[in-house]
Amino acid sequence: MLAWITKLFGSFAKIFSNKNVRDSLNFLTPLALDVVKMLATDSSILSSAAKRAKAVDLVAEKVKASNTGLNITSSLINLAIEIAVQEVKHLVK
C-alpha cells in the first residue's frame, strides 16, 4: 500500500515539475478563478455541470485570445478550473 501511495505522489511531483505545466497553470489559474467567481453568481445557470461546461468554454476562449505560446491542453484547463472551484468554495464557507 505504501509503495502505491509513494508511486502516486511521485507521479504528481513529476507532472508538476514540468516547466510547461507550471507555466500553463500559472497563466490559467487566475483566468479560471475570474471565470468561476463570475459563474458562481450567475443565477441563470442552475446546474453545476452547466457552469463547469461554460467555465471550460470561457477559459478556452481566453486562452485562444492570449497567444501565450504555451501548450495548454484541455486537461490543464480542467485542472485550473477545479483549483479555482476549490478556492471559491473555501472563500464562501
**pLDDT tens-place string over residues 24-41:** 999 999 999 999 999 998
Question: pTM to 2 decimals?
Answer: 0.76
**Which structural domain range is residue 78 located in?**
19-92
Residue 4 lies in a domain: no
Residue 44 lies in a domain: yes
What b/e sequence results for 16-26 when a residue is b if at least 16 CB atoms lie within 10 Å of its CB, and e otherwise? eeeeebeebbe
3: Cβ contacts below 8 Å, ≥ 6 apart: none
Domain count of the fold of the chain: 1
Helix and strand numbers, DSSP H then E, in the chain: 4, 0
What band does 20 get if pLDDT is binned at 50, 70 and 90? Answer: confident
pLDDT digits (tens, 9 = 90+) for 62-86: 999 988 888 888 999 999 999 999 9
Are the CB atoms for 18 and 76 separated by under 8 Å?
Answer: no
Residue 28 lies in a domain: yes
